[in-house]
Amino acid sequence: MKTGVDEGRRATLRGIAAAAACAAISPVFTRERVAHAAGADDALPAEAGLRWAKAPCRFCGTGCHVEVGVQGGKVVAIQGDAKAEVNKGLLCVKGYNVAEILYGKDRLTTPMLRRNGKLEPITWDQAIAEIASRINKAPDRFAFYGSGQWTVPEGYAANKFMKGGLSNNHIDPNARLCMASAVTGFLGTYGVDEPANCYDDLDQCTHLICWGNNPAEMHPMLMFRLTERLDEITIIDIGTRSTRTTEFADHFMQMDPHGDMAIANGVAHLLLKRGTYSKEFVENHCNFRKQADGKQELMGVASSFEEYQKLMQPYTPEHAAKLAGIPVKQIELLADIFGDPKNKIVSMWCMGMNQHTRGTAINELVHGLHLLSGHFGRPGDGPMSLTGQPSACGTVREVGTLSHALPGGRLVANAKHREQCEGFWNLPSGRINSKPGFHTVAMWDEFTKPDGAINMIWVQVTNPGQTLPNLNEYFNDKPADKFLVVSDVYPTLTTALADLILPSAMWVEKNGVFGNSERRTQQWFKQVDPPGQARDDCWQIIAVARKLYELGHAGMKDKDGTFLFNIVDGAGKPVPAWQWEHYYDVNVDEQLFEEYRPFTHMKHKNVAPYQELVKARGLRWPVVEASPGVWKETLWRFSEGLDPFVEKGKGVDFYHSTTNDGKAQIWFHPYEAPPEVPDSDYPLWLCTGRVVEHWHSGSMTMRCRALKGAMPDAYVEMNPQDAADMGLPNGSKVVVESRRGSIEAELRLNFRSIPKRGNVFVPFYDENIAINKVTLHDYCPISKQPDYKKCAVRIRKAE
Amino acid sequence: MNATSQPTQIAAGAGNAGNRTFVIAALVCAALAIAGFVVGLKQNQDSDSDQSARILADSSNVADIRDGQPRAAVYQKYLDVHGDKLNRGFSSQLGTLVSNERPTPDGDRSLTVEQRKALRAYDGAPPVVPHPIHQRDTQNCLSCHGEGLWIDSVFARPISHDPWPSCTQCHVEGRGTLQKWNLGSFSGMEAMAGVRYVTGAPPVIPHTATQVALTRSDCMRCHGTHAWPGVRYTQNDAHRIPAASTGEHEDRKIMNLRCQQCHVLQDR
């Protein structure tokens, strides 16, 4: 049964994959050619004067490794790293063009302070003093806004500075807008964050289900691994738009927005009704959970299998299909797939399920389908949540740069956790504030409203002026007495409102460590100098902390009076790392990483020692010392024989279970309509997202010739029939407006995607077409992650 | 529309012209076909033959070849079906695409390097596509770039590696050359020439091992019949290659291995 996909095209694609597979005798073909490349040494002719160094790509959460070609102090070439398991020597178009992000002509190279409305150059000493004295005046009204692009040491330094130094928990990352619902989904289900499986599953699964996910554009190297196996696997694409991923899909389930919840419940209903769920897995490894009446909380209340069955009763395939806007037979098809224990199923998702006003719920429902059907715990079989940023996992989730978290999965609200962290940091008891700080939307709300509790925000490595939801409300109307500090590499919509701009070093202009979507920690070394006066973000934090120390802020010392960031040389003698000329005297990254590493042991997320990471193209935690000096990574967690922390004889053990019995939680969540649905005034759904050429807010990719050339401006996509009905011709200028704001852009029909009827798509990368003026700020009540994928809009021809 | 199967050559055009014009056009096409047939027969006798399909087109009409056989003009179809103005640009931009020159074994290599640079951020970067493309179809590029295709006087070059199923994950629409964007000071690695360490020795391969294994995996696509000027293999006794093997799928792989018997990666 093929549903909605052009069989002829799919056959052609299969043909290419099959031809490649057939010709395996030659080393120049597909998997063999990849293997061949992996064995090769990559030296170029000596006269080129070129050296190659490893680094993870700067962009998305896939975590490909690139080889950086350096010549004469400049990056001059890039190639895929054949030694990297993630991308096996290939890259997507962004990876191939990543070098140009360093050399944009408008790089920020001088600190600048706004005086009388005008930005004027100042010295670094002045800039650091300005920040420190302002924080010192009102430490409680200061907030730090970072991102999943912070390196691990940067995020760790920021977190320690705020929570351990200023006793201030107002630190949150843009990752709140990106994968907070994935975190709460993992916590609610397994009691511990991050996927149990890894990308190797893509090489082994028989079925791939994309839940509102378009890996062909967003995670191209994962799609590459899948397209190598088109003749072996069945791909199911669930989404509101027909995309490049749909081109490769066997089944396309074009749902209505929010329909994912109905689909998941419909499938669970059928598994229960048919008795095709895994009685063995459920009995041995699962408990049931639900929300208390009228509540939305992370832990909910206990339920039972009987109650779960009863609650799932109403979600007949007919009812679910109607809610989701797909044919009944497609729900049945999914139930067939989950009901067959022989299948190996990977569910893959990213923003589609995370940017969702019921984000935690839909994450838990999809985990629940895998647990209920027993499709969990063996290679090729399990739920795989992806991230959009290179270190959303490594920095935000593991280092805990969130307003409620501490490193190592510790929580600020938990007295024992605070005590542990104070112990690690050698701080006096009670230093860490017990009250969670403001999460992202609340932080910016407090900053932008006149009587708000926050009067100063320092932004690093992100662009909230473009990526916050409902921008007119949360960013554009900053009161004059509020002070915004922005560390960045290019002018952005955020620096446009900044009072102080700090020029930052980026990517291979500094040392770094990232952590990708599959628990892989990746290290790289600085290769070239940053331009002008640009300096490392981590140095900026340490320099401000030192200035506060000098101003007498008691929090900048540990309980023995030692500076919080005590960087030392080989002989143990302190190095003044707060002075830029001494910052690279030693490897500050390594020292911070090694200081952080013991935190990771507390939830069995043991990251590898820094020096092991130096040797590897990333290692997937937990990394344990199998024998002296031999460190072994873990591909699959919670399964005996695969996870070193599962005891012999246990089979599957969820050793961080929230019910303390080694069991995971299968949640019931009802289908609930989104907060804003189209009506007669605003009759269309708006969905935002990305395109393959651009990453995040485009501040880097719009400086790359090939990427800007391919996709110079954002556009509006709608269903061609809707456009015809409204008399809007292809290529016309249209206005997209919601109750919150509007943008104007070109309408493109039959372009990158074809939205379902009644749906509109606009990518968010273009600062000139800031679609987040239109989007909704409503968020998941548990994860606090806003929904960028659905709100009500109308479209009219531009005057 | 006239088409002969050997050699593959079709004339598309004539379009809206009057009956008389059509007859003339048809005669011209027939003459070209016969000439092409004779030339083709002659060329097939040596290893230097250009076996690529040819399409003669005017600026308003483009056809394509699938599975080595001429078909109706699918780009026309795209125009009709999608009303997509971007694809309409394909034919109108035909005249602006690079390389109106037949490839020759000799020639100015520096010119070749310049032309290649126009579409590549650095040597080894995937070239951007110099014409509009269909945005969702991930592999119809191969219709023209699979084996190479003459469209009027423009040659759609064969890709330098065996295809992955998604062309567009690496190759994106360029909307002109990269030079038109003045975005920064990036200066990419230049292409290198293969060095001969001893007079008369075969030149070494100036690409990286990863490139040769993955993205420059088929030597003959760039250095064989369709080579740009100045980078073509020298025709001498050492390179006496059976005609049949230059165009055939399987043999090409063997060819590649043969190349690497004499031409080696440096500093492996």
Q: Kindly determine whether residue A50 and residue B213, on different chains, have CB atoms separated by under 8 Å.
A: no
In A419-448, the residues whose Cβ lies within 8 Å of chain B are: none
| Residue A47 touches chain B, beta carbons under 8 Å | yes
- How many other CB atoms are there within 10 angstroms of residue B114's CB atom? 11
What pLDDT digit, counting tens, does each position of A453-512 carry? 999 999 999 999 999 999 999 997 788 899 999 999 999 999 999 999 999 999 999 999
- pLDDT value for B80: 33
Question: What is the average pLDDT score of chain A?
Answer: 93
Would you say residue A41 has pLDDT above 60? no
Cβ pair A77:B188 closer than 8 A: yes
Instruction: Note the Cα B2 to chain centre separation in Å.
Output: 23
Q: Crossing angle for the helix pair A328-339 and A259-274, nearest 10 degrees? A: 60
Test mutation, A31, A54, A76, chain B, max B CBs within 10 A = A76
pLDDT, tens digit, 9 for 90 and up, residues A377-388: 999 999 999 999
Neighbours of B258 (CB within 10 A): 15
Query: What is the pLDDT, as a whole number, of residue B218?
Result: 83
State pLDDT tens for residues A281-303.
999 999 999 999 999 999 999 99
Confirm if A55 and A99 have CB atoms less than 8 A apart.
no
Distance CA A421, CA A779 (A): 30
Mean of the pLDDT values across residues A640-651?
95
Residue B217 predicted with pLDDT over 90? no
Q: Kindly tell me if the per-residue pLDDT of B81 is higher than 60.
A: no
Residue A556 has pLDDT above 50, yes or no: yes
Distance CA A115, CA A74 (A): 35
Instruction: Decide if A96 and B121 are in contact by the 8 Å CB cutoff.
Output: yes
Q: Give the residue from A100, A529, A752 with the most B CB atoms within 10 Å of its CB, the best one to mutate.
A: A100
What are the tens digits of pLDDT across the range A59-71? 999 999 999 999 9
Compute the distance between CA of residue A513 and CA of residue A521 in angstroms, rounded to an integer.
7
Number of residues written out for chain B: 268
pLDDT reported for residue A364:
98
| pLDDT for position B213 | 84
Tell me the two tokens of residue A54. Answer: 């490893």
- ipTM given for this complex: 0.85
Which chain B residue has the Cα nearest residue A731?
A: B85
Structure tokens at A29: 């073909």
How much is the mean pLDDT over chain B? 66
Query: Averaged over A247-259, what is the pLDDT?
Result: 96
Cβ neighbors of A363 (< 8 A, separation 6 or more) are A181, A182, A184, A185, A186, A188, A189, A349, A353, A354, A385
pLDDT at A50 over 90: no
Q: Provide the CA A722 distance to its chain's centre, in angstroms.
A: 33
pLDDT digits (tens, 9 = 90+) for B166-202: 899 999 988 778 888 889 999 999 888 888 888 878 8
Instruction: State how far the Cα of A214 lies from the Cα of A218, in Å rounded to an integer.
Output: 6
Asked if residue A595 has pLDDT above 80, the reply is yes
**Does residue A219 carry a pLDDT above 50?**
yes
A253 bridge partner residues = A238
Contacts of A489 in chain B (CB under 8 A): none
What are the residue ranges of helices labelled H in chain B? 19-43, 74-82, 85-92, 109-117, 142-145, 209-210, 219-223, 243-247, 249-262
Contact A248 B138 (CB under 8 A): yes
Report strand pairing: B69-70 vs B65-66: antiparallel
Give pLDDT, residue B34: 60
| Contact call for residues A466 and A775 (beta carbons, < 8 A) | no
Residue of chain A with shortest Cα separation from B205 = A45
How far, CA to CA in Å, does B233 sit from each of A12, B40, B156, B216, B238?
33, 21, 20, 15, 10
Q: Pull the structure tokens for residue A642.
A: 């695969």
Contact A205, A233 (CB under 8 A): yes
List the structure tokens of A402. 């969130």
- A299 burial level (CB within 10 Å; 0-12, 13-18, 19+): middle
Please tell me the predicted confidence (pLDDT) of residue A536.
98
Q: For residue range A132-161, list pLDDT tens digits in order.
A: 999 999 999 999 999 999 999 999 999 999
pLDDT, residue A477, reads: 74
Nearest partner of A665 among A267, A198, A291, A313, judged by Cα: A291
User: Mind listing the pLDDT tens digit for each residue in A124-137?
Assistant: 999 999 999 999 99
Extract the tokens encoding A309.
């069955």
Name the token pair of B144.
């023209």
Which of A90-99, A517-526, B169-178 is predicted least confidently? B169-178
DSSP B144-212: HHTT-EEETTEEEPPPSSPPPS-GGGT--B-SS-GGG---B---PPPP-PPP-SSTTSPPPB-S-HHII
- CA A543 to CA A530: how far, in whole Å? 18
In angstroms, the CA A306 to CA A723 distance is: 48
Which of A118-122, A304-308, B79-83, B176-180 shows the lowest mean pLDDT across its residues?
B79-83
Q: Side by side, which strands form the sheet with A65-71? A: A51-56, A65-71, A74-80
Q: Residue A704 half-sphere exposure, CB side, CA atoms within 13 Å? A: 29
**Helix extents (H) in A551-597:** 580-583, 588-596
- The two three-digit tokens of residue A794, written as one number: 């109308």
Q: Give me the numbers of helices (H) and strands (E) for chain A, helices first please.
A: 26, 33
Residue A172 has pLDDT above 60, yes or no: yes
Which residues are CB-contacts of A174 (< 8 A; sequence separation ≥ 6)?
A145, A146, A147, A148, A389, A440, A462, A464, A467
In the block, residue with structure tokens 């070098």: A99
pLDDT in tens, A677-693: 999 999 999 999 999 99
- Ranked by mean pLDDT, which of A345-359, B135-149, B193-207 comes out on top? A345-359
Question: How far, in Å, CA of A110 to CA of A518, rounded?
Answer: 37
Q: Which residues of A have a catalytic role annotated?
A: 94, 178-179, 351, 388-389
**How far A248 CA lies from chain B's nearest CA (Å)?**
9
The residue among B88, B133, B208 with the most chain A CBs within 10 A of its CB, best to mutate, is B208
Instruction: Report the pLDDT value the prediction gives residue A799, as an integer from 0 to 100.
Output: 87
Residue A441: CB atoms within 10 Å:
22
User: Distance between CA atoms of A695 and A218, rounded to whole angstroms?
Assistant: 9
| Distance from chain centroid for Cα A147 | 9
CA distance to A269, A281, A315, A335, B107, per residue, from A275 (Å): 10, 13, 15, 11, 73
> In the prediction, which pLDDT does A357 show?
97
CB contact under 8 A, B210 and A67: yes
User: What is the pLDDT, as a whole number, of residue B181?
Assistant: 85
Band of residue A2 on the pLDDT scale cut at 50, 70, 90 = very low
Q: What is the mean pLDDT of residues A555-584?
A: 97
Cα–Cα distance for residue pair A347/A329, rounded to 1 Å:
19
Cβ partners under 8 Å of residue A682, min gap 6:
A737, A738, A739, A792, A793, A794
- pLDDT bin (cut points 50, 70, 90) of residue B51 is low
Cα separation of A674 and A462, whole Å?
Answer: 28
Specify the residue for token string 């300005």. A130
Please state which of the ranges A280-294, A538-552, A625-639, B15-29 shows the lowest mean pLDDT. B15-29
Each residue of B226-236: pLDDT tens digit?
788 788 877 66
Residue-level pLDDT at B150? 81
Tell me the residue length of chain A: 799
Residues of B (157-216) whose Cβ lies below 8 Å from A:
161-166, 168-176, 178, 180-189, 192, 195, 204, 206, 208-215
First to last CA, chain A: 47
- Host H or E run for residue A363: helix A359-373
